[in-house]
Amino acid sequence: MDNEEFRRHGHTFVDWMADYLAGVEDYPVMAKVQPGEIAANLALSAPEQGEAMEQIFADFQRVVMPGITHWQHPSFFAYFPANSSPPAVLAEMLVATLAPQCMLWQTSPAATEMETRVLDWLRQMIGLPEGFAGVIQDSASSATLCALLTARERASGWRGNSDGLAALPPQCVYVSEQVHSSADKDVMVAGMGLEYLRKIPVDAGFAMRPEALAAAIEADLAAGRTPCCVIATLGSTGVGAIDPLRPIAEICQRHGVYLHVDAAWAGSALVLEQWRWMIDGVAAADSFVFNPHKWLFTNFDCSAHFVREPDDLVRTLGILPAYLKTREADRVIDYRDWSVPLGRRFRALKLWFVLRSYGVAEIRRRIAAHMDLAAEAAGWMDEAADFELLAPLSLALFNFRYHPVGLDDPDALDRLNENLLHDLNDSGALYLTQNNVNGAYSIRFSVGQTNTERRHVAAAWQAIQDTARGLPLAGR
């Protein structure tokens, strides 16, 4: 493809992109395809001869689009949002064109220096104290892995990397029962062993009980094991639980245990002063992660990872073969030493575009609006005689179920709500995901897509009622 063709197709594609965003509500939110349906339309091998871009683009529309679940549909209430926004998309176009590999300062100084600066913008925006240094990771899972590895090295006197884990006493990690599954996976990857992952009981609000944490740490100490890391969650994935940071931080300090804070989704709410109570005590944390790629209008991937002792992270992950040495290394940051992969995309640019294009005031307004919409929807369900909240509103998330008067068999209620969820999602009008709250099947309602308005939430509530009340009542 020559440059003039590139220019022509580029204009066509941007027109298509703008049309897509204007008409995204016309698509079913969840892709309406069966497993294998898309693969059946993909060639079994790469073409020997190049094809015309017109043909490729036509196939993108014909073959690919039906297999897309539309995360940017304003009736997306599933999982957590994975926000996009026009300024972020524009920045990604530029980055894709420059295609820099930003592992070292020297391999694109602007990428490194902008990453440092915009992460400090974010730090200020969410009220983290000075002294936390930021780096962009591909995901919160990776940031938490880096935290576990650093904690492991620190607790082992920096011997884990050199001597291997077999030479060390077992290292224990503490999380709440509501922790995200990435903690389990990261413990596996770090070689620390799921046997030493302690799931601490939670209180009635699903938050970690500090006295149970203290007891677990003391029991491990007494048995000769090393308490290594606590992961506190702000805004758990299932119900939005908020672990009490200050008492947890005090326990960590008392025992010299590394404290990592996972605020992957809820961190965005910290742009609002009234949510800053969640990070009371954070000055004593060792690291903190939240995902602008969830709820801060910035395309995946962009996970903001803050550390209090960058030297510890670099001591854990730093490596310096001859071919990566640069003459200015002692005066600059080489972010390759702050994460597991060597190669790094230029991810700071989209954040810089988003923060400058919206401004912090507008970002605050949008996050607050999402929370208001979720509160309104939770109120409707709470008031309806045949619906109930299984977990209350937390930020912009709540769990509910349909509970017709007189139907009290737990299994029948589970099946009814499972059918409700599938019917709603199959309708294409909205998209929700399930959860389990205290043993009961629940449906999560999470508001946060960039363009969700009141009319979308109201239509969702109408569809939920109509669909639920039209279901056959098994078990009655």
Ligand X SMILES: *Cc1c(COP(=O)(O)O)cnc(C)c1O
Residues that bind ligand X (CB under 6 A): 80, 139-141, 180, 182, 233, 236-237, 262, 264-265, 291, 303
Close Cβ partners of 118 (under 8 Å, ≥ 6 residues apart): 348, 351, 352, 355
Minimum distance from residue 340 beta carbon to ligand X (Å): 13
CB closer to ligand X out of 267 and 281 = 267
CB closer to ligand X out of 72 and 141 = 141
274 C-beta neighbours (distance < 10 Å), count: 9
CB closer to ligand X out of 28 and 238 = 238
Minimum distance from residue 28 beta carbon to ligand X (Å): 24
CB closer to ligand X out of 182 and 434 = 182
**Closest C-alpha to 240, from 383, 451, 444:** 444
Minimum distance from residue 262 beta carbon to ligand X (Å): 5
CB closer to ligand X out of 397 and 420 = 397
CB closer to ligand X out of 92 and 220 = 92
Q: How far is CA 97 from CA 92, 345, 408, 419, in A?
A: 8, 12, 59, 46
Q: How far is CA 409 from CA 126, 327, 406, 469, in A?
A: 45, 71, 9, 17
Q: Which amino acid does the sequence have at 334?
A: D
Alpha carbon distance 176, 241 (integer Å) = 10
At residue 173, φ and ψ (nearest 5 deg) are -120, 140
Alpha carbon distance 476, 473 (integer Å) = 6
Give DSSP secondary structure letters for 172-222: EEEEETT--HHHHHHHHHTT--GGGEEEE-B-TTS-B-HHHHHHHHHHHHH
Minimum distance from residue 346 beta carbon to ligand X (Å): 18
Q: How far is CA 402 from CA 43, 331, 399, 417, 431, in A?
A: 44, 60, 11, 6, 16
CB closer to ligand X out of 141 and 156 = 141
Pairing of strands 397-402, 387-394: antiparallel
Minimum distance from residue 178 beta carbon to ligand X (Å): 9
**Closest C-alpha to 120, from 111, 109, 131:** 131
Q: Which run of H or E residues covers position 115?
A: helix 109-126
Alpha carbon distance 206, 242 (integer Å) = 8
Minimum distance from residue 49 beta carbon to ligand X (Å): 39
Alpha carbon distance 153, 160 (integer Å) = 6
CB closer to ligand X out of 233 and 316 = 233
How many alpha carbons lie under 13 Å from residue 219 in its C-beta half-sphere? 12
CB closer to ligand X out of 446 and 467 = 446
CB closer to ligand X out of 180 and 209 = 180
Minimum distance from residue 267 beta carbon to ligand X (Å): 9
3-state secondary structure of 322: helix
Alpha carbon distance 184, 61 (integer Å) = 38
Structure tokens at 220: 């491990």
Close Cβ partners of 221 (under 8 Å, ≥ 6 residues apart): 227, 255
Angle at the Cα of 166 from the Cα atoms of 162 and 171, rounded to 5 degrees = 95
Minimum distance from residue 37 beta carbon to ligand X (Å): 26
CB closer to ligand X out of 262 and 337 = 262
